[in-house]
Amino acid sequence: MDESKQRELIEQYIAAYNDFDIEGMLAVLAPDVEFENYSGEELTASASGIEEFRLLAQRAKGLFTERFQRVTSLVFNQESATAEIDYHGRLAQDIPGGPKAGSLIELNGVSEFTFGAGRIIKIIDRS
């Protein structure tokens, strides 16, 4: 897959994420997509397959009243790409032992995308 197609898939995925459009996110993912989210070195969420990803995305959607990812750099390497991401989101509900509803969460992170068969087959988010 060429770099322009990879860029297009990433842009579609992030635009759908920012719009809380789960079906739009799923549209660019392979049926057997793998997803991992790390905070520091700790694995905080994962999904194996599109249905697990859908459930995870639906739960995450309810955590925020607004959220936005912005790609600050994008580096391609054959069948993968690494995006540096600026993220902010406003919590919809209190996090037990953590921030309260209405709090703004701001993070910098990296998302690694792997491609195959014209779709995204793996995403690893690190913050």
pLDDT tens for each residue of 33-70: 999 999 999 999 999 999 999 999 999 999 999 999 99
How confident is the model at residue 98, as a pLDDT?
86
Section 6-26 average pLDDT? 97
Cβ within 8 Å of residue 42, ≥6 positions away: none
What domains are there in the chain, each with its CATH number?
Answer: 3-126 (3.10.450.50)
For residue 116, how many C-alpha atoms fall within 13 Å in the half-sphere facing its CB?
A: 9
| CA proximity to 107, closest of 70, 74, 73 | 70
User: Are the C-beta atoms of residues 106 and 88 closer than 8 Å to each other?
Assistant: yes
Residue 97 has pLDDT above 90, yes or no: no
Query: Quick one: how far is CA 54 from the chain centroid?
Result: 12
User: Are the C-beta atoms of residues 103 and 96 closer than 8 Å to each other?
Assistant: no
